[in-house]
């Protein structure tokens, strides 16, 4: 039985790689944010701002416990998921965890054009976002590095780069 969790900062490519890897391996792909949105018929932005972060994190934990029972699955979780409660330890017990490591400059480039749907970024200027990425990565790095595997994911900008990354990820995980 295969169960792999992809973790890492917003914009690290968890969804992009998760989709491509699951297709390659014939496994189901689950994105925790999408799963949560479907369950509650609300966007992450609405849930996060409506409930406040503390309550959102409790909900996120509950949703994690639901999807982490699925089998033969690749699961991408939210950027903050491993950093709250015992979520990281729980994922490590439920399956393999992979930290997608990406340079702050690359994260900035990706998130500049994809911040609107992200409650933690949507009201920030470019300068504020740059600062936020650096300081939040610093706060989160000890959690992220508690994953079983670390995978460098700086180059995911087109089909051939994604294909190359899937090959490397398969080799890393011996799949
Ligand atoms: C968050 C990341 C988001 C989403 C929420 C909070 C975070 O997921 O769960 O906006 O704390 O980093 P992505 O990493 O998929 O953007």
- Span 107-163, pLDDT tens digits: 999 999 999 999 999 999 999 999 999 999 999 999 999 999 999 999 999 999 999
Out of 120, 123, 133, 143, mutate this one to test ligand 1's pocket (max ligand atoms within 8 Å of CB): namely: 120
Ligand 1 neighbour 82 (Cβ under 6 A): no
What's the rounded Cα separation, in Å, for the pair 123 and 116?
8
Ligand 1 neighbour 119 (Cβ under 6 A)? yes
pLDDT at 142: 97
Kindly give the distance from the C-alpha atom of residue 31 to the centroid of ligand 1, in angstroms, as a whole number.
Answer: 11
Residue 173: predicted pLDDT: 97
Say if ligand 1 is within 6 A of residue 78 CB: yes
pLDDT of residue 90: 98
18 lines ligand 1 (CB under 6 A): no
Give the model's pLDDT for residue 68.
98
The SS3 call for residue 84 is coil
Condensed to tens digits (0 to 9), the pLDDT of residues 38-84 reads: 999 999 999 999 999 999 999 999 999 999 999 999 999 999 999 99
Which three-class secondary structure state does DSSP give residue 29? strand
Q: Is the pTM of this model over 0.85?
A: yes
């Amino acid at each position: 039985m295969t169960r792999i969790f992809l973790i890492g900062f917003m914009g690290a490519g968890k969804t992009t790689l998760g989709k491509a890897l699951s297709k390659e391996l014939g496994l189901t792909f689950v994105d925790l944010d999408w799963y949560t949105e479907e369950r509650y018929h609300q966007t992450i932005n609405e849930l996060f701002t409506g409930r406040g972060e503390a309550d959102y994190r409790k909900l996120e934990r509950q949703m994690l416990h639901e999807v982490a029972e699925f089998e033969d699955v690749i699961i991408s979780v939210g950027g903050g998921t491993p950093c709250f409660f015992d979520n990281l330890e729980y994922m490590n017990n439920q399956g393999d965890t992979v930290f997608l490591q990406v340079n702050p400059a690359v994260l900035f480039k990706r998130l500049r054009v994809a911040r609107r749907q992200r409650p933690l970024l949507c009201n920030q200027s470019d300068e504020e976002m740059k600062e936020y990425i650096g300081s939040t990565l610093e706060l989160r790095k000890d959690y992220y590095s508690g994953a079983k595997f670390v995978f460098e994911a700086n180059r995911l900008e087109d089909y051939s780069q994604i294909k190359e990354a899937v090959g490397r990820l398969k080799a890393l995980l011996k799949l």
